Amino acid sequence: MLRTALCDQLGIEYPVILAGMGGVSMHRLVAAVSNAGGLGIIGAATLDAAALRDEIHRVRELTDKPFAVDLLAPIPEMIRPQMQVVFDEGVKIFVAGLAVPQQFIAEMHERGMTVIVMIGKVRHAVKAEMAGADVVAAQGTEAGGHTGEIGGMALVPQVVDAVKIPVIAAGGIADGRGLVAALALGAQGVIVGTRFIATPEAQAAPAYREAILRSGEADTVRTRCYTGKPARTIRNTYNESWERRQDEIKPFPLQVMYSAQQGVMDYMGVGQGADPERCFMPAGQGLGLIRDNKPAAEVLADIVREAQEVLAALAERHSRD
Ligand SMILES: Cc1cc2nc3c(=O)[nH]c(=O)nc-3n(C[C@H](O)[C@H](O)[C@H](O)COP(=O)(O)O)c2cc1C
């Protein structure tokens, strides 16, 4: 019931895709989602070329299922070394997280790769399609991490109408109801981010995971104070303090470097750890739907089961009417 053409295109069983969350979606989580029938995406934004190669090898040690690599390319030349690794390693699916990496698209297609581009506006979806994207992911403002201003409920169907390529919905989706809603809007699948952070496989600081489990729909803020670009994060005293001095925020990526110096970027918990009153803790507005830390395979199976139940209940209601 849930299988879409996108599943065949990506070689997956269910139209549920792990967001390529920079620093969080590493080999254990990626492999767990791919092994469970979804698509795992390595969030490679924080990795240099050698670390990316290592992550790809580790994913392959854990699964023989399809997986993808996500990179942020605000200036495409910045990711050339990582792109070489993607090519050398024969990665089949690439996700462009921040801009269309136009100069790499021809080579990706020559190599038989599928290119997915994240977008937050109809205009950007059209541009991505024209540049050769095979799939666009329409990310609503509800989403965790860098995000635009348009709500997913409005954005997804308008993108579906504007492009011929398949559309994936992202932002605030954490259960089977969200998956069914996305399919009803014309999307062929969903990208799920924040829900997968509350899993033992995610690379996340314990304080970050705990903050996700106790927060609700109104506890996030969209701020430029950590990276220089608008990103949705859990509200705390540090990011509130920036509300009054927006003009001091440097452009991306200078603000990222400043934030790293301030010790507020370790949400993945690999260094000094996360102080929840100061740290960047990217999270979407679906937070209140996430109340348990459970294995990624269970998260995926629950989304699929619930979506099937919702569809069955809708069909039954319809047949009674
Ligand atoms: C911790 C975190 C890091 C993220 N990093 C990236 C990234 O590096 N590249 C990217 O394309 N999207 C990134 N995103 C956005 C996701 O791809 C996705 O669109 C979003 O998580 C979906 O919304 P949700 O978190 O409400 O499920 C990130 C999101 C989070 C929560």
- Can you tell me which atom of ligand 1 is nearest the CA of 98? 11
Say yes or no: 77 and 112 in one domain: yes
Å from CA of 126 to ligand 1 middle? 21
Any ligand 1 atom below 6 A from CB of 100: no
CB-CB neighbours of 153 under 10 Å: 15
| Pair 117, 263 in one domain | no
In this predicted model, what pLDDT tens digit does every residue of 136-184 receive, in sequence order? 999 999 999 999 999 999 999 999 999 999 999 999 999 999 999 999 9
- 76 and 197, same structural domain? yes
Do 161 and 262 fall into the same domain?
no
Chain segment 65-120, per-residue pLDDT in tens = 999 999 998 777 889 999 999 999 999 999 999 888 888 999 999 999 999 999 99
Using H for helix, E for strand and C for coil, what is the string for the chain? Answer: CCCCHHHHHHCCCCCEEECCCCCCCCHHHHHHHHHCCCEEEEEHHHCCHHHHHHHHHHHHHHCCCCEEEEECCCCHHHHHHHHHHHHHCCCCEEEECCCCCHHHHHHHHHCCCEEEEEECCHHHHHHHHHHCCCEEEEECCCCCEECCCCCHHHHHHHHHHHCCCCEEEECCCCCHHHHHHHHHCCCCEEEECHHHHCCCCCCCCHHHHHHHHHCCCCCEEEECCCCCCCEEEECCHHHHHHHHHHHHCCCCCHHHHHHHHHCCCCCCCCCCCCCCCCCCCECCHHHHHCCCCCCHHHHHHHHHHHHHHHHHHHHHHHHHC
For residues 31 and 13, state if they share a domain: yes
The predicted structure's pLDDT at residue 101: 85
Check whether residue 126 and residue 27 sit in a common domain.
yes
Assess whether 159 and 68 both reside in one domain: yes
**How far away, in angstroms, is 27 Cα from ligand 1 center?**
16
For residues 210 and 198, membership in a common domain is answered with: no
User: Please, are residues 114 and 137 in contact by the beta-carbon 8 Å criterion?
Assistant: no
Enumerate residues 6+ apart whose C-beta is below 8 A from 144: 19, 21, 193, 194, 220, 232, 233, 282, 283, 284
Tell me the Ramachandran region of residue 224: left when phi exceeds 0, alpha when psi lies from -120 to 50, beta otherwise: alpha
Nearest CA to ligand 1 atom 3: 21
| Span 41-63, pLDDT tens digits | 999 999 999 999 999 999 999 99
**% of the chain beyond a pLDDT of 70:** 100
Query: How many Å lie between the centroid of ligand 1 and the Cα of residue 144?
Result: 5
Q: Give dist(CA 178, CA 274) in Å, integer.
A: 29
230 with 302, same domain: the answer is no
Q: What residues pair up with 191 in beta bridges, in sequence order?
A: 17, 170
Q: Do 11 and 133 belong together in one domain?
A: yes
Tell the residue nearest (CA) to atom 16 of ligand 1: 19
Residue 260 token pair: 């790293």
Same domain, 297 and 225: no
How many domains does the chain divide into?
2
Q: Directed axis angle between helix 27-35 and helix 296-320, to 10°?
A: 40
Amino acid of residue 232: R
39 shares its domain with 117: yes
pLDDT band at 304 (very low <50, low <70, confident <90, very high): very high
pLDDT in tens, 256-289: 999 999 999 999 999 988 999 999 999 999 999 9
CATH number of the structural domain spanning residue 21: 3.20.20.70
The closest-lying atom of ligand 1 relative to the alpha carbon of residue 194 is 25
The structure's pTM equals 0.98
- Residue 277 belongs to domain spanning: 206-286
Q: What does each C-alpha distance from 276 to 50, 168, 269, 281, 292 come to in angstroms?
A: 31, 31, 12, 8, 19
What pLDDT is stored for residue 167 in this prediction?
Answer: 98
